[in-house]
Amino acid sequence: MEGSARRSELIAIAARSFRTKGFDATTTRDIASASGMQSGSPFYHFKSKMDLLFAVIDEGMRTALQGQKESLAKLPDQANACERLHALVLHHLHVLLSPGNDFIPVMLYEQRALPPALRKEINHAKDRYEQAWRQALQELEADGRLQTNASLARLMLFGAMHGTLIWHNRKQPLSLDALAKQYIAVFVTPPERAAKAIT
């Protein structure tokens, strides 16, 4: 929200460290010196270490939500559910795996360090992020193109994608584009094999 350049720099540096070493193992002194500050100075920008964690996650959610919107907007007007899901998957892989994109990984792994009130706020943003997924998956379910219900498919799909954080190697032969196609191939049955014929 507040746009001080120094503040943004602290958030980016904190994100990297929170991701690499974890929230608890990161000291505010680490962050300060990586930003060329003295040990007490981060507290001029953030009330507490936890506030900084929240800022990192919040920044990640805003960016991801904005990016998702743009990805969908780029699609042709009559894009069907499968095409929309593909765009969502591809964008989400970018969110997870683009170099320097440490915010969402921090959310996934360090959320626990936040008090319930802040976690609730994040969950609201997550709900908004998942809306487009719910809709696409429900349409696919209605067309008989899922092998489970839309809700479970969404949970499985997110789990399968988040797993890339552990095994995906940036030097791998598989591009994010190719990877997205594989996810769609696994989770969405092609129309010609769908359980229910298109009416």
Binding positions for its own copies, rule: CB under 8 A? 21-25, 109, 112-113, 146-148, 152-153, 155-164, 166-167, 182-183, 185-187, 193
Q: What type of residue is 190? A: P
Q: Exactly one of 12, 34, 50, 160 binds DNA (CB under 7 A); which one?
A: 50
- What CA–CA distance (Å, rounded) separates 146 from 23? 38
Which pair of tokens denotes residue 193?
């094999």
Nearer to its own copies, 11 or 107 (CB): 107
Region of 166 (left: φ > 0; alpha: ψ -120 to 50; beta: rest) is alpha
| Residue 151 and residue 158 in contact, taking contact as beta carbons nearer than 8 Å | no
Task: Give me the helix-helix angle, 5-21 and 49-73, nearest 10°.
Answer: 100
- What CA–CA distance (Å, rounded) separates 190 from 82? 9
Q: Exactly one of 21, 22, 38, 163 binds DNA (CB under 7 A); which one?
A: 38
Binding of DNA at residue 20 (CB under 7 A)?
no
Smallest distance, its own copies to C-beta of residue 31, A:
16
Smallest distance, its own copies to C-beta of residue 92, A:
13
Rule CB under 7 A: which residues touch DNA? 6, 26-29, 32, 36-41, 43-45, 47-50
